[in-house]
Amino acid sequence: MELGKRAAVVTGSAAGIGRGLCVGLAERGYDIVGFDVDADGNAEMADLVRSVGRDVLALTCDVGDAAQVRSAADEAIKRFGRVDVLINNAAVWNDTRLTAGSYDTQVRAFSDALGACSSGAFHCATALVPAMREAGGGDIVNILTDHVLAGHFITGLPATGYDCAKFSLWRLTESWAVELAPFGIRVNGLAFGATDTPMLRGVSPAMADAGMRPSDIAQAVANVLEHGRGGPTGRTYAFGMSRASRAEHLAGIAAIAEISED
């Protein structure tokens, strides 16, 4: 490993926020490992990372499948020798209403929602924390949503599975922070509102137009990472609430950088 070389694993890396995170971290000096089921989108992400001069490993991986995660994690560690950052970003927004579809379709939809997000995050953390411990520390950043915060918009009937998965990931953020603090591994979450992604555009183009950009989320992650090993852990940073102005979004992201201690 080159002195100072760092590697980050990003789930849901092929498009939207995940692709923006990969490119944003590459621009800040990280080599990238992307886990995603979309091989074509992941290949496009890899080209973008290489264009800014960083190494990249784009792996076709369903993070809801524990065996696939174990294999992908082993490949990532073999390639880069270390993992400094894990960003649990993957999620599925689908129809999990009790009054829609059939028993089989709704059970599968709910399982997919939890598998992509909360179960997937658990698989990835379990696979990669040993490498972080061996390296003397690292960072886990969990991508949440403003739906977990009191007083903010909840998706409602269609996406109960998505919200359930995000609430679960929020609690994992707090619990892992306590468990992993003795090993120098910080765990924090980002809870934010509408962001311009293909997923949101499929639901509400108007919300996508008014929302943040994936590069904004990359800046928020960078601000968390720049706190360093002695920085806060177990926190959820809220910004960019739905229906806020872009100026408010950016001010909230900038405020993260000003926090220097727990």
Q: DSSP secondary structure string, 180-207?
A: HGGGTEEEEEEEE--B--HHHHHH-HHH
Residue 20 DSSP label: H
pTM of the model: 0.93
Per the CB < 8 A criterion, the answer to whether 21 and 214 are in contact is yes
Q: To 5 degrees, how large is the angle CA 40–CA 43–CA 49?
A: 150
CA 97 to chain centre: 25
pLDDT-based confidence at 3, cuts 50/70/90?
A: very low
Q: Give 66-117 as a 3 state SS string.
A: HHHHHHHHHHHHHHHCCCCEEEECCCCCCCCCCCCCCHHHHHHHHHHHHHHH
Average pLDDT over residues 28-34: 97
Decide: helix, strand or coil at residue 237. Answer: strand
Helix 214-225 to helix 16-27 angle (10° resolution) is: 50
CA 56 to chain centre: 17
Q: Is the pLDDT of residue 155 over 80?
A: no
pLDDT at 90: 97
Average pLDDT over residues 224-238: 95
pLDDT-based confidence at 2, cuts 50/70/90?
A: very low
- Cα(first)–Cα(last) distance of the chain, in Å? 31
Q: Is the pLDDT of residue 205 over 80?
A: no
Per the CB < 8 A criterion, the answer to whether 223 and 192 are in contact is no
Q: Give 158-183 as a 3 state SS string.
A: HHHHHHHHHHHHHHHHHHHHHHHHHH
Q: Is the pLDDT of residue 1 over 60?
A: no
Structural domains of the chain ordered from first start: 6-257 (3.40.50.720)
CA 38 to chain centre: 16
Over the chain, what is the mean pLDDT?
Answer: 91
pLDDT tens-digit series, residues 60-112: 999 999 999 999 999 999 999 999 999 999 999 889 999 999 999 999 999 99
